[in-house]
Amino acid sequence: MASLLCVVAHPDDETMLCGGTLARLAAAGVEVSVLSLTRGEGGETGEPPLCDRAELGRVREHEMRCAVQKLGVSHLDFLDYVDPDVGPDDTLFAPEADFDVLVGQIAEVVRRQKPDVVLTHGSNGEYGHPAHKLAHTATRQAAGTGSAPVLYSFQASYAAHPYTRLANPDDPADIVVDVSVYLDQKEAAALCHATQNALFVRRRSKQAGRKITVREALMTEEAFHRHWPPEPTEDDKFLEWLT
């Protein structure tokens, strides 16, 4: 069976950054797996709070399991790194990790699952999130170690990107996917991440001058950059699936 492994830093990255494409591929019969470095312990607890901070990792794991089920994902695993709390002035951090150990852990998943495609965060960490950058660099190295035939990153940049804050400027788009048909699934998955729903709409609401809905915050196009191989080949299943 055709298969894809998506490596993310936190719960909700799988939905907000590439959820429509994951849903499309799952609906087409691709076995989609998601691997998260953390359980999002440093994120928000909701407005009003839906749990105590000490419970947040457990709650967000449950939210992510709900979300991936809505997207049709077959497997979800966690690497048990702890997501640091947000610092002063909204400073973001990567989890504490021995880089070589992290690479080995991701490579082991790649070797075990033997996916046709590995997908992860972009080179710039989308909006520069250090945890996203860590996931990107570790996954790039691990995919080579694990002999994954194709490696792509999400939120690639292109002229008509619907929300440029999330675009990775160093990753020009090789594929742009219209996921509007899967917006209902993407919305259902996003709503599973209830502790983060206020975060999803806060910045966009401020820009719009009104309170927007979670559905309005979702992108209906998702773009991807190919990191390996450097040129399209017959083994590029991701290109085959989406074009």
Tell me the pLDDT band of 147, cut-offs 50, 70 and 90.
low
Domains of the chain by start residue, with CATH: 3-242 (3.40.50.10320)
- pLDDT at position 208 over 80: yes
- pLDDT at position 47 over 70: yes
Element (H, E) at 6: strand 3-8
The two structure tokens encoding residue 114: 């033997």
Residue with tokens 């959820």: 19
Tell me the C-alpha to C-alpha distance, in Å, between residue 149 and each of 5, 53, 96: 12, 40, 29
pTM of the complete model beyond 0.85 = yes
Residues 226 and 107: their CA atoms lie apart, in Å, by: 19
Q: What's the confidence (pLDDT) of residue 146?
A: 52
- pLDDT at position 5 over 70: yes
- Determine the residue type at 26: A
- pLDDT at position 162 over 80: yes
135 CB burial (10 A radius; 0-12, 13-18, 19+): buried
